[in-house]
Amino acid sequence: MELWAFVLYAVLVLIIAGSMIILSALLGERHKERFTDQPYEGGILSEGTARVRFPVKFYMMAMFFVVFDLESVFLYTWAVAARDLGWLGYGEALIFIVVLLATLVYLWRLGALDWSPDTRRKTR
């Protein structure tokens, strides 16, 4: 194995990263002014607390986006190798898409994608 190229690359990365950190600490600007330690030092006064509660629907929608976005990456890689995979790969991708659609239908029927306030589903 030719491991020397990887070791050389790792050493160069560590040297460059370390020199950037050291140089920024040595050459960086240091000042202590009246408003430096306050958040929003751009002149905007903070109001309230930073611990604002958001509805769970925001987090759920973000998780759904991440999951379905990741699935699109899997389908893209399948599309790149579609000719090499043949009919077996096509069948596997079809099963994958069917599972995704079933999940989407389940979330839709559950009401997880419904944001309107007047159509709240009752828990059973």
The parent domain of residue 83 ranges over 56-110
Report the C-alpha gap between 42 and 35 in whole angstroms. 9
pLDDT band, very low/low/confident/very high, at 120 (cuts 50, 70, 90) = low
Q: Total domain count for the chain?
A: 1
In a domain, 79, yes or no: yes
In a domain, 49, yes or no: no
**Which ranges of 81-119 does DSSP label H, i.e. alpha helix?**
82-110
In a domain, 29, yes or no: no
Find out whether 97 and 45 touch, Cβ atoms under 8 Å: no
CATH of the domain at 93: 1.20.58.1610
In a domain, 46, yes or no: no
Q: How many CA atoms lie within 13 A of 20 on its CB side?
A: 6
In a domain, 97, yes or no: yes
26-77 pLDDT per residue, tens: 998 877 777 666 666 556 666 777 677 877 888 888 888 888 888 888 888 8
Report the C-alpha gap between 12 and 5 in whole angstroms. 11
In a domain, 22, yes or no: no
In a domain, 38, yes or no: no
pLDDT band, very low/low/confident/very high, at 20 (cuts 50, 70, 90) = very high
In a domain, 32, yes or no: no
